[in-house]
Amino acid sequence: MWRERALKVVLVVVGLLFTAGIYPVTSILWNRDQSGYTDAMMLSLYFVLGTLLLLAVRNPSAHRSLIAFAA
């Protein structure tokens, strides 16, 4: 019981942290900074991973492979 609740809290915190990476992506793409395109690509992958982690909070046992990938 406690482990699952702790896992859900960690998933929410990490998911929100990764999802917050959308702000630098939009600023890089908005300013058309050529040197920052690789950073924007990596941050967009983290944004998608954070969104999927937030969706995995509902049923962590069904999304074990995603959680293992994020870890």
Q: Which residue has the tokens 């995995």?
A: 56
DSSP secondary structure string for all residues of 34-50: GGGHHHHHHHHHHHHHH
CA angle 42, 24, 53 (to 5 degrees): 55
Tens-digit pLDDT string for the chain (71 aa) = 888 888 889 889 988 888 887 877 777 777 776 666 777 778 888 888 889 989 999 988 888 898 888 88
Q: What is the pTM of this model?
A: 0.77
Which residues 6+ apart lie within 8 Å of 20 measured at CB? 50
